[in-house]
Chain A
Amino acid sequence: MNRKTLRCLAAALTLLATAAAPALAEPVKKTFCVFDPSGANGQVFQLMKDYKVEALAWGVDFELKPYTDEKTAADDFKAGKCDAALLTATRLRPFHKFAGSLEAMGALPDYAIAKQVIESLSKEAAAPLMVNGEYEIAAAFPGGAIYLFVDDKTLDSVEDLAGKKIATLSHDEASKAMVKRVGASMVAADVGTFAGMFNNGSVDACYAPAFAYKALELYKGIGDKGAVVRYPLAQLTLQVLIRSKDFPEGFGVKSRAMAAKNFEKGLQVARQAEAAIPDKHWLDIPDADKVKYDAMLRDVRVGLRDDAALKLYHPVALKLFRKARCQKDKTRAECVEKLE
């Protein structure tokens, strides 16, 4: 074969190869603003480093930026400084009411139900629910259950909380409504202040994931008399919020599937933190009381869904959660009443 023939053959082979395998496009660069109270050295940020590697396979090269202040991360996303943001459901509710409802109080009473819901939402059929106008939830990672920390374990019923001071996150409308509902007094706080308030006795109770017990030394506020009430008030979630049009086709579906597959891995830290709380500091409440609180939280959710001014929770989300609860336990009264 002469050189010209060889060149023609090489060109033909190149064309064939190009036709046979889809071209690997250069990944698009995107800025990802990640909220982690501990910044880039925190566990959430580290989890996102793995997510960054996964995203590369879906055609996106994320530049991760740590944010220790969640509001700034949300504001920067809104202002277009970030192409994606990792936020808690409560913070991202203004962008996406459905996903914001994942932290609805008492809606996902255990990890199995939370996992089932997140897995359902990761399916392709659920994609329309994950899009709200220009916004899309590209992943939901579990952050663990939120518990009530009290400085006096005799505060073991909702009635006992009346008149007590509870540190409440200022942007958390649902918790404010709840505090009002139980007749407690709200003391405005943020992530950086609530633990100090509880530990120095300026509030009687606060709510947080188990992680805070050690990391923020909430055991100091608990002391000899207090406790962590073993009744999940809500499920903390960390979600990847994007603007769909800025991302490759199908990014959200692939990303949500990956997050759902890694649900247990995401939960590992929460489980470890719960195991690290000594038995003497857990307060178990009687099953009869749990039934009562389940009903009360449902009333609060329905109220927040229907409140004309707030309209906090998405009705379809609440219905999905109710179906998940009832699938696990058909004997719940709500399965007949179907208020959600």
Chain B
Amino acid sequence: MKSSTPGAGVPAGPALALAVAATLGGCSIHGMTGDVMADYSTEHLIPWVLESGDTGMACETGVSLGGFLISFGRVTDPPHRAAIPTLLSAAVCAQEQAYEADLRSRRAIRAANVPEAKDARTVEKRQNVVAARRFLAAWQSTVAQYGMPGEGCPELESNYDELVYTLGLLSVVQALQHDMAAESKAGVPLDAPARAARATECLNNARWWGVPQALRAVVWVSVPGTAPDGADPWYELAQAAKVGEQAGVRLAHAIQAQAAVGAGRDDVLRAAIEAHAASLARTPPAAKWTTVDRIATQQITALSDRIWTDAEGHRTPFGALGDFPVDPEVEEGDDLLDGLTPEPTPAPTEAPAGASPADQEPES
């Protein structure tokens, strides 16, 4: 960095000019603070947040510190590497709000309450716009830092670069999904997921918990014509999910489940939720990535909540992730009780026409 202190004996005019030039050159106290902040974020804050396992704190850190961190791009080099996970965390906050509104709209629909359902849909769309914009901003930081994905592989110099590149690719797939749910108000480029799918080839699949493979496959499922000949996206998603299970970072489960929702594959969705719940009981989260694993659980739980809400009017009962509401039409009888329970009594005959409920009440 250049020094911003003008030399002694320099006339006042040129000194001022030098000072201004130095400030504009990024050597102000603000610029230096920004550089320190960016380094501190990538070296300490973000690794700590990813390890903490506190998804709420992660999302709120993204929202509260995002503006502060990214604004340093006005006085020094934009802190893209720190901005990618920060923006993604902030997007997850809005995503949660959108999921909440979706559940409210489902409950209103069950109650045939049209104004409430419409209101909830509006809130859902507003939050989807916020989520889409934040995910999109994470993608734009990825493009700015590493070049346009899908056109060759960038030089990813460290594990941290690989991590944020993976998160950047994930962001744009999520961005488009939220934008589609918000009448395209965020203007996410429609070709970005196909680019992201190609760019996943630049990443080590096992190191990044099967996410590159899952991302490719979800794009193949949702964008017609992107799957190579003979590719089976559902197989790829299942394989990726296994990699995630083994790593204790089960983001691929969430991607698999989301792909299943998109394609109307209820069987795959339920299997992914079940597998996720079973894996949580079996394998603890990878210590360094506990928050990432818990965000995956949060997303899986949101999808499970939709199933429960549609069927029962409430979200997944506490501690019951992996269980599903019983469909009364397919519920099997209990063989043990066969022949032991009395036959159901026939329904009473209808009250005579015109009789009011009050007429049928016994006299007190």
Contact = CB atoms under 8 A, between A and B. Distances in A.
B183 A56 contact: no
A42 B183 CA distance: 10
A317 to B, nearest CB: 29
A291 interface: no
Interface string B91-120: 000000000000001000100101001100
B356 A11 contact: yes
A38 B180 contact: yes
A53 interface: yes
Interface string A175-197: 00000000000000001111110
Given A53-B121, A56-B112, A217-B194, A43 B224 contact: no
Interface in A23-62: 24, 26-27, 37-43, 46, 49-50, 52-54, 56-57, 61
A56 B177 contact: no
Given A38-B180, A41-B222, A214-B189, A52 B109 contact: yes
A245 interface: no
B230 interface: no
Nearest to B181: A46
Nearest to A3: B364
B222 A49 contact: no
Give chain A's interface residue range (CB within 8 Å of chain B).
35 or more
Contacts of A269: 183-184
Task: Specify the main secondary structure of chain A where it touches its partner.
Answer: helix
A71 interface: no
B112 A66 contact: no
B262 interface: yes
A195 B190 CA distance: 14
Contacts of A215: 190-191, 223
Nearest to B222: A38
A195 B105 contact: no
Nearest to B178: A41
B264 A37 contact: no
A98 interface: no
B36 interface: no
B263 A40 contact: yes
A67 B191 contact: no
Given A40-B263, A195-B224, A216-B224, A53 B114 contact: yes
Interface string A268-295: 1100110010000000000000000000
B112 A46 contact: no
B358 interface: yes
Contacts of B222: 38-39, 41-42
A214 B191 contact: yes
A201 to B, nearest CB: 15
Contact of A26 (B112, B184, B190, B361): B112
Contact of B225 (A10, A67, A192, A211): A192
Contacts of A273: 190
A53 B263 contact: no
Interface centre among B114, B180, B361 (most CB of A within 10 A): B180
Given A7-B361, A53-B105, A40 B261 contact: yes
A37 to B, nearest CB: 5
B174 to A, nearest CB: 10
Most buried by A among B121, B221, B224: B224
A49 B194 contact: no
A125 interface: no
A11 B358 contact: yes
Interface in B253-296: 258, 261-264
B224 A67 contact: no
Contacts of A21: none
B361 A43 contact: no
B121 A50 contact: yes
Nearest to A47: B183
A40 B264 contact: yes
A287 to B, nearest CB: 31
A65 interface: yes
A68 interface: yes
Contacts of A39: 221-222, 261-264
A265 interface: yes
A195 B225 contact: yes
A14 interface: yes
Nearest to A191: B224
Nearest to A53: B117
A56 B263 CA distance: 24
B190 A211 contact: yes
Of B187, B221, B262, B359, most buried by chain A (CB within 10 Å of CB) is: B262
A192 B361 CA distance: 65
A15 B356 contact: yes
Given A24-B112, A195-B224, 14 more contacts: A7-B358, A10-B358, A11-B359, A14-B356, A27-B112, A38-B222, A38-B262, A39-B261, A40-B262, A40-B264, A53-B121, A67-B264, A217-B194, A276-B190
29 contacts: A3-B364, A7-B361, A11-B358, A11-B359, A14-B357, A38-B223, A39-B221, A39-B222, A39-B263, A40-B264, A41-B180, A41-B181, A42-B222, A43-B180, A49-B121, A50-B121, A53-B121, A56-B114, A66-B264, A192-B224, A192-B225, A195-B225, A211-B190, A214-B189, A215-B190, A265-B183, A268-B183, A272-B184, A273-B190
Interface of A: 3, 7-8, 10-11, 14-15, 24, 26-27, 37-43, 46, 49-50, 52-54, 56-57, 61, 65-68, 191-196, 211, 214-217, 219, 265, 268-269, 272-273, 276
